[in-house]
Amino acid sequence: MASKAAHKRLTREFKSISENPPPYITAHPSDSNILEWHYIITGPENTPYHGGQYWGTLIFPPNYPFAPPAIRMHTPSGRFQPSSRLCLSISDFHPRSFNPAWEVSTILIGLLSFMTSEEMTTGSVSATETERKYHAARSRWWNSTAGGSHKKAGGPATKGNVKAGDGGAKFREEWPEVDQENWSWMKENKVDPVTGDKVDQGGASCGPQLGIAAGSGHQTHAVVDAVMQQRDAGRGWLFRNKLVLAGGLIFVYVMIARLLGKESSQS
């Protein structure tokens, strides 16, 4: 249970961060526990996390601000172990180095700064840029389904310790509007809620359909014939047969030349 000082301080900080959120960061305390804060970091431009939606928790001690929070990031990122406590100078791993003047916004800005660096610590992982971009592209899906387990959820997790398996219940509880946006995004982008992969659309064409049955052994010829029919539509007989006519004229010219040559040789 939060002390009066902690409750007053966190209430003030919630008002402050709501009115002036830091870039790429949004955060709020849980309705049921002011010591449990939830944040979302949006991956900044020019980083492998660009466009990613990274959700995590800050669990404050009852005597905050005289001690730092436990910091976790639940969304897989390729930078941190999901739902593991992070060892940072602003986290509960180093209570003596924590400055009571630091606020929630200070803590989250520090987390974002560390995330976009390559420094290693307890709870961090090493990954390639490609792997981190992969996680960023799947982050919305992961948050709202908890890794595809949304159909077999046993109930929301507690204490901010969220792992794949809670079915997205905790995220939905804390971020209902964002969760709805994520499901709309998955529907619009045809993302499979179970796997997080895009549903195969059967290779839809970007141009007009020619009505050719898929799998036909004469598909290539059919495409060529259809294009030729469209090209020749509305054209006259002479235009369509100009090559035949040209060939005939050349043949007649050659025959006349031969006859004239024979006559000249006989004279």
Q: What is the pLDDT of residues 227-241, one digit of tens each?
A: 344 444 444 544 455
The residues annotated with a catalytic role in the active site are 87
User: Per-residue pLDDT tens for 179-232?
Assistant: 999 999 999 999 999 999 998 755 444 443 333 333 333 333 333 343 344 444
Spatial separation of the C-alpha atoms in residues 97 and 84, rounded to whole Å: 21
Could you state, in order of their start, the residue ranges of all structural domains in the chain?
4-188, 219-266
Cα–Cα nearest to 76, from 97, 54, 58, 95: 54
> pTM above 0.75?
no
Say which CATH superfamily domain 4-188 falls into.
Answer: Ubiquitin Conjugating Enzyme (3.10.110.10)
Q: CA dist 265 to 158, 261, 262, Å?
A: 110, 6, 5
The pLDDT assigned to 126 comes to 95
pLDDT digits (tens, 9 = 90+) for 120-144: 999 999 999 999 999 999 999 999 9
Paired with 138 in beta bridges are: none
Q: What is the pLDDT of residue 200?
A: 73
Which range of 2-6, 150-154, 219-223 scores highest in mean pLDDT? It is 2-6
Average pLDDT over residues 165-179: 92
